[in-house]
Amino acid sequence: MLLVDDILESGRTLAFARDLLMSRGATRVDLAVLLDKEGHRKAEIEADFVGFSCPDYFVVGYGMDVGHAFRELPFIGHVLD
């Protein structure tokens, strides 16, 4: 099974989803993410397939938003402080 997500940050949600799928009979769950923010990991989890490593920026675009804005951008950008 392949679990796909936009960004792997703390890892809590993907770890929960992977463990749930395994408990329900999946023999293998690979993880694919567009962006990987390794510096924010709270759960012990790594993606099997990573599009890009992401520095510690708040990113928007491709469905990721800030206050429901910028979700529709056809690229990934970061919000300046």
pLDDT tens across 18-43, in order? Answer: 999 999 999 999 999 999 998 889 99
pLDDT confidence tier of residue 45, bands split at 50, 70 and 90: very high
**Entry pTM:** 0.84
- For residue 22, the domain's CATH number is 3.40.50.2020
Number of domains in the chain: 1
The verdict on whether 9 is a catalytic residue reads: yes
User: Which residue among the candidates 9, 44, 46, 72 is catalytic per the annotation?
Assistant: 9
Residue 63: the pLDDT is 82
Q: Kindly report the average pLDDT of the chain as a whole number.
A: 92
What are the φ and ψ backbone dihedral angles of 10, each rounded to 5 degrees?
A: -70, -30
Q: Which residues contact 77 (CB under 8 A, 6 or more apart)?
A: 59, 60, 61, 70
What domain range is 35 assigned to?
2-78
| More confident position, 65 or 31 | 31
Tell me which amino acid residue 80 is. Answer: L
Q: For residue 79, what pLDDT is reported?
A: 83
User: If DSSP codes are grouped into helix, strand and coil, which group holds residue 5?
Assistant: strand
